Structure 1
């Protein structure tokens, strides 16, 4: 049942974002920022954790989950270091994921030959 919940929640998030992209003139970069900020806000309000517990990776993998992870890291760092944690917590919480994305994308660029669109 966990897989089914992850699938339908993640699919619903992606479908809603696709509708947002299709029905508005927002550029994809702005939508990505909107998703991260929304995930952070939902995490701060305590609304994202129940969704994450229910859907697992279906809620944790989209950009909403990245925003929630930033919030969790900032909250922990603020509790430990005070106001300075506001600036360091998000980086600490997301360092492993961002590092993995950079390393794997670099390896992929070595394996595959990029081509310009014609």
Structure 2
């Protein structure tokens, strides 16, 4: 059942993104940025935790999940460190995912030998 919930949650997020691409003049970069901001805002008002609990990886892997992780990290750091946590919490919470993306990107670049299109 968890796989179905993750599939449905991630599928809805992707479908909304596709509708935004098809029906609006928004660029994909603005939509992706909007997804991160939406994740932060939904976590700030206490909604995204319930979505993440129900949807699992379908909610935490997309960009809304990145925003959720940033907001959750800030919330935790502010509770522990005070105002300084607002500056460091998001970076600490998301550092593992960002580091993994950089490492895997470098590994793929080495293995696939990318070159410029002509």
Shared fold, TM over 0.5: yes
4+ residue runs over 4 A deviation:
none
Gaps of 5+ in 1: none
2:81 maps to 81
Residue 102 of structure 1 deviates from its aligned partner by 0.2
2:4 maps to 4
Give TM-score, length-normalised by structure 1.
0.96
Give TM-score, length-normalised by structure 2.
0.96
Residue 39 of structure 1 deviates from its aligned partner by 0.4
Gaps of 5+ in 2: none
Residue 91 of structure 1 deviates from its aligned partner by 0.3
Residue 28 of structure 1 deviates from its aligned partner by 1.3
2:40 maps to 40
Residue 47 of structure 1 deviates from its aligned partner by 0.4
2:105 maps to 105
Paired residue secondary structure (2:46): coil
- State the aligned residue count: 118
2:92 maps to 92
Residue 115 of structure 1 deviates from its aligned partner by 3.4
Rounded Cα–Cα distance in structure 1 between residues aligned with 2:22 and 2:55: 26
Rounded Cα–Cα distance in structure 2 between residues aligned with 1:101 and 1:47: 27
